[in-house]
Amino acid sequence: MARKKDQQYTKYIKDPVLEPYFIQLEESCYTVHKNITAESKKEYSQKIGHYKSLHVALSKIAEDTAKRKSYDSIKGFMNEYETIINNLNQAYNV
């Protein structure tokens, strides 16, 4: 019974700019989730991690997004990561 009551008060940040990610707001942290559609067309949510600050949660989203492809150099990866961070910052005027 307590479980159902707790779920009623769960809060999220579900912003189209973050898709396929969303952030669960918890009392002591921010939990990043990623929506995934399996080959079977079944949709589920994968937990990426728990983070103490929103800034770190957003940087982990950028990192996970950058890891979707391969790179020829660390510089290429860092450039992609910085581009994603800059796009997030511009979207929110941070």
String of DSSP letters for 41-77:
S-EEEEEEEEESSHHHHHHHHHHHHHTTS--SSHHHH
Looking at residue 9, its pLDDT comes to 78
pLDDT of residue 1: 44
Model-wide pTM > 0.75: yes
Q: Count how many domains the chain has.
A: 1
Q: Three-state SS for 18?
A: helix
Q: Are 60 and 47 in contact (CB under 8 A)?
A: no
- Judge whether residue 59 has pLDDT over 60: yes
Kindly tell me if the per-residue pLDDT of 75 is higher than 80: yes
Average pLDDT of the residues in 10-15? 94
pLDDT in tens, 15-52: 999 999 999 999 999 999 999 998 898 999 999 999 99
Which pLDDT score is estimated for 90? Answer: 86
- Residue 93's identity, in one-letter code, is N
User: Residue 81's domain spans which residues?
Assistant: 2-92
Distances (CA, A) of 21 to 1, 5, 14, 42, 55: 29, 25, 8, 17, 15
